């Protein structure tokens, strides 16, 4: 899974990326701080099954803190997109290509309205206009790619297949292509769409294949009611208020041992003696996360993974009685799979040979044998039995 962070310049994308990944990304209060895309690993969080099973897990990747499991996902932050980015304006449309493989987008907007579409200081800019402008830029970029291949598409009776082939780097499903065409009242046989039809199709395809959650950043700097007003203007989007700056500061303080803080928490514990400016900053951040039920940053990534994309967490094991792998590690892996995925798909995610030789699976919680086509449920602990070694 890859989640792309998008938005206009100077909205706090790199700050949120750094908070989610604790990776080093250039952060500054001026446009186009990010020149090359940043790639890192963020973690979606969910209650671990260790308490239910009465064991202590030993994660291979990520952590499990106070019964909350961290599940790694790939994330990228690209340069800010300005009006006419699809034509090469700003940092150019080459950065749009870095978003092609994403399963979903997090669009960061400046809820405070203190930066315009070009990332320059302003007063009263409308973040809702940012959302529509960026959505249009990405759609224009996609429709431009389709239009460039109109001659070859017009010769294919299986246009839906041809589009999936053409857009192979976009992580698309054929059913999404078909649905986007149907909802746009367009035929995919010998495609000869006009410009506005291609754009309408691109907009629907993006909505279906790359859903977007709005990160209303700089909530701490926004006026009262700003978040509610933005949500009313964007009724079809999920809008979550957040402060990337506060989340990053808290994670850095936790990493340096000053506080105990779990991402997404509504409070933290001060571990070291602090005074003066540092104490005032911590008190301010404590008040913010108490009032707003967290900084909002972890909530955004969880919303994307579990609600928008609808993934579930499954724990593969080799010993269904001890819930361990062949090294004796308890619940070492927590894997994300689509809701309703089959047990054989889990086997394939572990290793292709395991899926090819799969005989059956075992529901380790119930100690019951299940078939290869067993529909996985969130929190399942599964043993794959295969002829493959």
Cβ neighbors of 175 (< 8 A, separation 6 or more) are: none
Choose among 137, 135, 133: nearest CA to 88.
Answer: 137
Asked whether residue 15 is domain-assigned, the answer is: yes
Asked whether residue 381 is domain-assigned, the answer is: yes
pTM confidence score: 0.87
* Same domain for 212 and 97: yes
Q: CA angle, 87 as apex, 81 and 89 as ends, to 5°?
A: 50
* pLDDT tens digits along 337-381: 999 899 999 999 999 999 999 999 999 999 999 999 999 999 999
* CB-CB contact of 3 with 104 (8 Å): yes
Q: For residues 171 and 101, what is the distance between their CA atoms, to the nearest angstrom?
A: 5
Q: How confident is the model at residue 389 (pLDDT cuts 50, 70, 90)?
A: low
Asked whether residue 89 is domain-assigned, the answer is: yes
Q: CA angle, 375 as apex, 328 and 346 as ends, to 5°?
A: 40
* Same domain for 85 and 211: yes
* Same domain for 25 and 158: yes
* Same domain for 323 and 210: no
Looking at the structure of the chain, the number of domains it has is 2
pLDDT at 173 over 60: yes
* pLDDT tens digits along 315-336: 999 999 999 999 999 999 999 9
Q: Which residues of 214-232 are buried (b: 16+ CB within 10 A; e: fewer)?
A: bbbbbbbebeeebbebbbe
The last residue of one of the domains, among 188, 208, 233, is: 233
The last residue of one of the domains, among 200, 233, 266, is: 233
Asked whether residue 29 is domain-assigned, the answer is: yes
* CATH number for the domain harbouring residue 158: 1.10.8.470
Asked whether residue 261 is domain-assigned, the answer is: no
DSSP line for 162-188: HHHHHTGGG---HHHHHHHHHHTT---
* Same domain for 206 and 83: yes
Residue 143 domain boundaries:
2-37+78-233
Asked whether residue 348 is domain-assigned, the answer is: yes
* CB-CB contact of 59 with 331 (8 Å): yes
Token pair belonging to 313: 């967490």
Token pair belonging to 211: 């859903």
Q: What is the pLDDT of residue 82?
A: 63
The alpha carbon of 261 is separated from its chain's Cα centroid by a whole number of angstroms, namely 22
Percentage of the chain lying above the pLDDT 70 cut: 91
Asked whether residue 166 is domain-assigned, the answer is: yes
Q: How confident is the model at residue 31 (pLDDT cuts 50, 70, 90)?
A: very low
Q: How confident is the model at residue 34 (pLDDT cuts 50, 70, 90)?
A: very low
Q: For residues 50 and 324, what is the distance between their CA atoms, to the nearest angstrom?
A: 12
Q: How far is CA 205 from CA 163, 172, 182, 371, in A?
A: 11, 9, 11, 35
* CATH number for the domain harbouring residue 363: 3.10.20.30
* Same domain for 229 and 323: no
* pLDDT tens digits along 246-294: 999 999 999 999 999 989 999 999 998 888 899 999 999 999 999 999 9
* pLDDT tens digits along 288-311: 999 999 999 999 999 999 999 999
Q: For residues 319 and 382, what is the distance between their CA atoms, to the nearest angstrom?
A: 9
pLDDT at 30 over 50: no
Strand partners, 216: 109, 241
The last residue of one of the domains, among 233, 257, 283, is: 233
Backbone φ and ψ for 373, nearest 5 degrees, come out as -95, 15
Q: For residues 64 and 315, what is the distance between their CA atoms, to the nearest angstrom?
A: 13
Mean pLDDT of 52-80: 89
Q: What is the pLDDT of residue 363?
A: 97
| Residue spans of beta strands (DSSP E) within 78-177 | 104-110
Asked whether residue 149 is domain-assigned, the answer is: yes
Q: If you ran DSSP here, which 8-state letter would residue 116 be given?
A: -
pLDDT at 138 over 90: no
pLDDT at 36 over 60: no
* Same domain for 323 and 226: no
* Same domain for 169 and 31: yes
Q: What is the pLDDT of residue 151?
A: 92
Output the CA torsion sign for 352, 355, 361, 363.
Answer: positive
* Same domain for 321 and 227: no
Q: How confident is the model at residue 32 (pLDDT cuts 50, 70, 90)?
A: very low
Q: What is the pLDDT of residue 190?
A: 93
């Amino acid at each position: 899974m890859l989640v792309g962070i998008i938005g206009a310049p100077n909205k706090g994308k790199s700050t949120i990326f750094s908070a989610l990944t604790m990776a080093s990304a250039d952060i500054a209060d001026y446009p186009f701080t990010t020149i090359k895309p940043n790639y890192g690993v963020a973690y979606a969080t969910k209650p671990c099954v260790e308490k239910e099973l009465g064991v202590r897990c030993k994660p291979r990747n990520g952590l499990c803190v106070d019964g909350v499991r961290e599940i790694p996902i790939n994330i990228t932050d690209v340069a800010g997109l300005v009006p006419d980015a699809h034509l090469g304006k700003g940092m150019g449309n080459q950065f749009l290509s870095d978003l092609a493989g994403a399963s979903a987008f997090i669009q960061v907007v400046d809820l405070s309205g203190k930066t315009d579409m070009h990332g320059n200081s302003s007063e009263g800019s409308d973040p809702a206009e940012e959302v529509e402008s960026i959505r249009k830029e990405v759609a224009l970029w996609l429709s431009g790619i389709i239009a460039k291949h109109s001659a070859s598409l017009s010769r294919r009776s299986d246009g839906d297949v041809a589009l999936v082939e053409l857009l192979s780097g976009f992580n698309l499903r054929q059913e999404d292509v078909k649905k986007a065409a149907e909802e746009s009242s367009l035929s995919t046989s010998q495609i000869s769409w006009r410009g506005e039809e291609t754009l309408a199709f691109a907009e629907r395809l993006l909505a279906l294949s790359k859903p977007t959650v709005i990160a209303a950043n700089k909530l701490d700097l926004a006026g009262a009611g700003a978040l509610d007003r933005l949500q009313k203007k964007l009724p079809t989007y999920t809008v979550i208020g957040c402060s990337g700056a506060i989340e990053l500061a808290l994670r850095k303080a936790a990493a340096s041992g000053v506080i105990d803080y779990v991402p997404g928490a509504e409070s933290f514990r001060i571990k070291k003696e602090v005074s003066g400016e540092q104490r005032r900053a911590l008190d301010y951040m404590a008040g913010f996360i108490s009032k707003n039920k967290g900084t909002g940053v972890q909530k955004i990534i969880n919303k994307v993974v579990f609600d928008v994309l609808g993934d579930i967490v499954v724990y593969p094991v080799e010993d269904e009685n001890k819930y361990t792998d062949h090294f004796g590690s308890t619940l070492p892996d927590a894997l994300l799979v689509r809701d309703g995925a089959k047990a054989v798909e889990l086997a394939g995610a572990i290793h292709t040979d395991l899926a090819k030789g799969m005989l059956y699976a075992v529901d380790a919680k119930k100690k019951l044998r299940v078939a290869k086509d067993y529909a996985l449920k969130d929190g399942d602990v599964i043993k794959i039995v295969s002829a493959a070694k």
